[in-house]
């Protein structure tokens, strides 16, 4: 399973980066192959200063070895070796009318001292972080997520949409990071879902990513925007940084397992502002966004 999934994310990385380069038209992804001293490594691909994408990364990694102490405590195990692989992407477009997107699909195996698999699961999801709300874009994104889910279980979309809203909650701001999408974790074999069924589900979601995001980019990338709208985007990017550094378990996992710092923190936006007590005007589009983030809603 681990070889099959690693093969899958390699191909998915290729198809995503080539599609995004075609949309951008100017910038190309820069590739860095890296090795983790304790075992494994990855292939980081970063795009910067593009016509459409100001900064973005589409990274794969496969790491293995002794589970770090902090993770042993987290999982409540004593001696354990692990394998983890996944694709992580974050795209920060230049135009504030185009939302930032994040996605991650991953697979995890844990072994006893004889090398037998004692636990294995999939996880992942994708979520959208707009700076301005276009209802039809939000609906489109969630519809694609729902269609992918519905092919596998009629309850998946509602369940994973709610988990996504809960996970990407910027607790210290009492607001969501964005308008959500899907989040699933610890997807283990059950009577109704074998690991092969989970593989089919996760790859279905991964395959739907470009369809969920690209039409939104195409529709909004050439819209005009003002300096004030650009400032709003940079202030909101500050909230993205706060979530990733204070709350995101994925980022913390990367830091604790001695992951490659530049690959983990490629998720941070390029230009960011923190302005003291910045408050949008009443009844403005900026206030509309905040109201939606304070109270996550149903889009489909």
Residue 48 or 204: the one with the smaller Cβ distance to its own copies is 48
258: left (phi over 0), alpha (psi -120 to 50) or beta: left
Which tokens is 295 given? Answer: 């109270």
Q: Is 182 helix (H, G, I), strand (E, B) or coil?
A: strand
Binding site for its own copies (CB under 8 A): 30, 32, 46, 48, 55, 57, 172-173, 238, 241-242, 245-246, 255, 261-262, 265-266, 268-277
- Residue 64: active-site member: no
Question: Residue for token digits 């996605």?
Answer: 103
Residue 100 or 120: the one with the smaller Cβ distance to its own copies is 100
Nearest approach in angstroms of CB 267 to its own copies is 9
Residue 228 or 261: the one with the smaller Cβ distance to its own copies is 261
Between β-strands 30-35 and 40-48, what pairing exists: parallel, antiparallel or unpaired? antiparallel
Nearest approach in angstroms of CB 174 to its own copies is 9
In which element (H, E) is residue 10 found? helix 2-24
Q: Are 21 and 27 in contact (CB under 8 A)?
A: yes
Nearest approach in angstroms of CB 44 to its own copies is 8
DSSP secondary structure of 103-151: EEEEEEEEE-TTS-EEEEEEEEEEEEE-SS--HHHHHHHHHHHHHHHHT
Residue 238 or 250: the one with the smaller Cβ distance to its own copies is 238
Nearest approach in angstroms of CB 254 to its own copies is 9
Q: Which residues belong to the active site? A: 102
């Amino acid at each position: 399973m681990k070889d099959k999934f690693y093969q899958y994310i390699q191909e998915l990385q290729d198809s995503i980066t080539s599609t995004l380069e075609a949309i951008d038209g100017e910038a190309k992804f820069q590739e860095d192959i890296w090795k983790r001293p304790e075992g494994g490594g990855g292939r980081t691909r970063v795009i910067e200063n593009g016509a459409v994408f100001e900064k973005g990364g589409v990274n794969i990694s496969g790491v293995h070895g002794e589970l770090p102490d902090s993770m042993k405590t987290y999982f409540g195990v004593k001696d354990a070796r692990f394998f983890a692989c996944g694709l992580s992407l974050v795209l920060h477009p230049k135009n504030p009318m185009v939302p930032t997107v994040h996605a991650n699909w991953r697979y995890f195996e844990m072994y006893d001292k004889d090398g037998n698999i004692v636990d294995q699961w999939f996880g992942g999801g994708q979520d959208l972080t707009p700076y301005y709300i276009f209802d039809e874009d939000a609906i489109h994104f969630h519809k694609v997520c729902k269609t992918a889910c519905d092919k596998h279980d009629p309850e998946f979309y509602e369940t994973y949409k709610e988990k996504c809203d809960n996970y990407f909650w910027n607790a210290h701001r009492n607001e969501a990071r964005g308008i959500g999408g899907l989040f699933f974790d610890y997807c283990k074999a059950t009577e109704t879902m074998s690991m092969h069924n989970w593989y089919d589900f996760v790859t279905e979601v991964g395959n739907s990513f470009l369809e969920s995001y690209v039409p939104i980019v195409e529709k909004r990338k050439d819209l005009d925007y003002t300096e004030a709208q650009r400032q709003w985007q940079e202030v909101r990017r500050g909230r993205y940084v706060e979530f990733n550094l204070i709350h995101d378990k994925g980022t913390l996992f990367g830091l604790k397992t001695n992951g490659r710092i530049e690959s983990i923190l490629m998720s941070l936006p390029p230009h960011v502002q923190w302005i003291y007590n910045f408050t949008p005007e009443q009844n403005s589009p900026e206030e509309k966004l905040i109201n939606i983030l304070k109270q996550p809603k149903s889009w489909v």
